[in-house]
Amino acid sequence: MRRPSLKLLLPLAAVATLTTAAVTKPNQGFILFSVQQDIDLGAQVARQTDSLYRAKGQLLARSSNARAYQLLDGVVKRVLDNGNLKYRTQFPWDVQIIKDDATQNAFATPGGHIYVFSGLIKFLDNENQLAGVLGHEIAHADRRHSSQLIQKQYGIGLLTNIVLGNNPNQLVQLASGIGQLKFSRTYEVEADKYSTIYLNGTRYYACDGAAGFFIKAEKQGGGTPEFLSTHPNPGSRVTNIQKSAQQLGCTNRTVSNKNFEELKRIL
């Protein structure tokens, strides 16, 4: 049998390397999960997360908090409809409020289920900052950062079992830790950048909204917001966000805080 010549093999190897680089570079790792598996896992994790916070009496029901959800949904929808999301129509992008004034955090599960603590909303000064933080969280889900982190931590075999409903104990563990997932600095840089891109696309919010939150959070002595321990500063964070916003030419937009002040008041 003739051995394939080296000449033939080399281009194939080169193609393989290129393909790997193309997949690896933007996301810092292989994604073994399909988008559909993100959606399925997200649905399971969200159901479990809801029931964990409901059991603690902290999950604000939509039926009895209609106005709060109307106000928050308005901000979320504006940020989502920026035209730059990859999975705007595939992921459900629902949002839940967790009533916990002592926790200044927000998170999104793989597959796009968003959770916002009342403590974060009360901590923020204006709607623009809220839009910036939401943009950052939405980026972690839409760029599939959280999916990759979980895949690394749990392994594909175990996660597949969780998706199939075969491992309820691990699902509880996963849901309990989902708000404390610690992102890498590379993911943080990307989520900060996308927050500015998303806000630019809203044609409504000033794109450096997230910077306003980080400036305030970093200034705060003691009781550092939980957000900063799970989303570590990649270095020059505020400067980078402001620079990106300036490059996009969208730093001068002003938004009324009437709705935001009402949201803070009724939470």
Question: Least distance in Å: CB of 37 to Zn ion?
Answer: 22
The total number of residues shown for the chain amounts to 267
* Residue closer to Zn ion, measured from CB, 74 or 232: 232
Q: Rounded to 5 degrees, what are φ and ψ at 106?
A: -155, 155
Query: Site size for Zn ion, by CB under 5 A?
Result: 4
Question: Least distance in Å: CB of 105 to Zn ion?
Answer: 11
**Residue 78 binding Zn ion, by CB under 5 A:** no
CA separation, residue 221 to residues 7, 216, 217, 240 (Å): 64, 10, 9, 23
Query: Looking only at residues 201 through 260 of this chain, which bind Zn ion when binding is defined by CB under 5 A?
Result: 231
Q: Which of 243, 213, 248, 219 is nearest to 231 (CA)?
A: 213
Q: In what order do the strands lie in the sheet with 113-117?
A: 94-98, 113-117, 106-108
* Residue closer to Zn ion, measured from CB, 59 or 191: 191
CA gap 201, 1 in Å, rounded: 60
Single out the segment in contact with Zn ion by CB under 5 A; choices: 42-50, 67-75, 188-196, 207-215: 188-196
Q: Which of 114, 137, 242 is nearest to 190 (CA)?
A: 137
Question: Least distance in Å: CB of 137 to Zn ion?
Answer: 7
DSSP 106-124: EEE-TTSEEEEEHHHHHH-
**Residue 120 binding Zn ion, by CB under 5 A:** no
Q: Which of 207, 206, 210, 208 is nearest to 188 (CA)?
A: 210
Question: Least distance in Å: CB of 24 to Zn ion?
Answer: 20
Among 130, 171, 181, 191, binds Zn ion (CB under 5 A): 191
* Residue closer to Zn ion, measured from CB, 78 or 231: 231
* Residue closer to Zn ion, measured from CB, 231 or 264: 231
Secondary structure of residue 146 in the 3-state scheme:
helix
**Residue 149 binding Zn ion, by CB under 5 A:** no
Question: Least distance in Å: CB of 216 to Zn ion?
Answer: 16
Question: Least distance in Å: CB of 191 to Zn ion?
Answer: 5
Question: Least distance in Å: CB of 45 to Zn ion?
Answer: 17
Q: What pairing do the DSSP bridges indicate for beta strands 113-117 and 106-108?
A: antiparallel
* Residue closer to Zn ion, measured from CB, 210 or 250: 210
**Residue 183 binding Zn ion, by CB under 5 A:** yes
* Residue closer to Zn ion, measured from CB, 91 or 183: 183
Query: Looking only at residues 121 through 140 of this chain, which bind Zn ion when binding is defined by CB under 5 A?
Result: none
Nearest to Zn ion by Cβ — which residue?
231
Structure tokens at 248: 């996009």
Structure tokens at 50: 């809801």
Structure tokens at 51: 């029931």
* Residue closer to Zn ion, measured from CB, 93 or 227: 227
Residues that bind Zn ion (CB under 5 A): 183, 188, 191, 231
